[in-house]
Amino acid sequence: MVVIAPGGDAAHPVEDARVVRTRNDVSRAALRVLTEQGWDAVTHAHLARTAGYSRATLYKHWPARTDLLRLAFARLDDMPHHEPTGDLRTDLVEEVTTFRTGMEQHRLDRALCALVDLATDDPEMVEVRDQLVTDGEQVVRRLLAPMLHGARLEAATLMLCGAVLHSALMHGQLPGDDVIAASVDLLLRGLDRP
Amino acid sequence: MVVIAPGGDAAHPVEDARVVRTRNDVSRAALRVLTEQGWDAVTHAHLARTAGYSRATLYKHWPARTDLLRLAFARLDDMPHHEPTGDLRTDLVEEVTTFRTGMEQHRLDRALCALVDLATDDPEMVEVRDQLVTDGEQVVRRLLAPMLHGARLEAATLMLCGAVLHSALMHGQLPGDDVIAASVDLLLRGLDRP
């Protein structure tokens, strides 16, 4: 039964707002549990306890465990980006630094690894991954597109994003400011050549 | 009881050879299960079935699940590398291509993600990861070391290895020959400058 309360109407009942709130609460909890405790911990029972809802509510809206994981990754979609100033070096350094900050604040290393594993077997998770990656790389690609295209644009994008990813995942530490600046400078020096 | 069989002696009993064979069989099975079925599937029961040993044998030699995972990663330690020819461009392209081949043949994407997740909570797995990464990057670092040092060497290494890693993990596909060549060329053009 849809309850029409003050502020709601037949087309947009208040029920919607409750679902939105529940989704917000559960997705926030899902992302936190995923990044702090690993993806084995993302279960209906554990998220229900963590977010303060009944297990029945969680099963009703998100029947499968992958639904819960998708919910967690959906929160990463609006990752912050640097607002370009027009100075290419500054803009690239700032954008890569913003990516590093996201890695740090959201413990993206762990979340991304979970996503890679899930995407191996689940086409729906491939879509989630692709959307996240497209969004994540868009500013770097846009900044480089006037100078590069095809394989060179692809290579440059992979190198700048990959430097942060490789450092975070494989070295277990984020690249320093000096390493980010050196990455951008090595790339731009190559581009400068006539 | 140690059985001394023909070919064995008191200092090096044949028992050792059996343990070596068991270790070989189980580690091979562990790596295959890890890369083909994901790390949730790396359990004593499943590996015992797959490798053809009793569960008791597996528990005796490798009591914890992380012991089994460590065993799997140990097999990745002798990853192939390109033998440098002296031509820097060729050597870098070949070495990065060899890394890509390893990614493909060993389904390293999945194994590395499992390793990252495990290393988050387990200092022993950090050691396993560090050893693997040090070995993996050594040829690229050695090739670049005459021209670069400090943050620039770090950046260049992260960019070349990271391009393959980012492509494999985040795009779900390995970089093409043209993208690898473009990565090396973009980097080398920056280095050429006086």
Nearest by CB to A171, which of B133, B169, B185?
B133
A window 145-184, beta carbon within 8 A of B:
150-152, 154-156, 158-167, 169-172, 175-176, 178-183
Positive or negative, the Cα torsion across B136, B137, B138, B142? positive
Angle at A82 between CA B163 and CA A168, to 5 degrees: 40
| Chain B residues touching residue A133 (CB < 8 angstroms) | 170-171
> In this predicted structure, what is the pLDDT of residue B13?
53
Task: Tell me if residue B56 falls in helix, strand or coil.
Answer: helix
Model confidence pLDDT, tens digit, residues B32-84: 998 888 778 899 999 999 999 999 999 999 999 888 988 888 887 767 888 88
The answer to whether the Cβ–Cβ distance between A133 and B170 falls below 8 Å is yes
Tokens of B101: 């081949």
Closest C-alpha among B170, B60, B73, B168 to residue B119: B73
CB-based contact (8 Å) between B191 and chain A? yes
Model confidence pLDDT, tens digit, residues A46-93: 999 999 999 999 999 999 988 898 888 888 776 788 888 999 999 999
Model confidence pLDDT, tens digit, residues B149-182: 999 999 999 999 999 999 999 999 999 999 999 9
> In this predicted structure, what is the pLDDT of residue A10?
53
> In this predicted structure, what is the pLDDT of residue A134?
92
- Output the average pLDDT for chain B: 87
DSSP string across B100-112: HHHHHHTTHHHHH
Question: What are the residues whose beta carbons fall under 8 Å from the beta carbon of A50, sequence distance 6 or more?
Answer: A29, A32, A33
> In this predicted structure, what is the pLDDT of residue B28?
92
The least confident of A58-67, A117-126, B7-16 is B7-16
Put simply, whether the predicted model's pTM sits higher than 0.95 gets the answer no
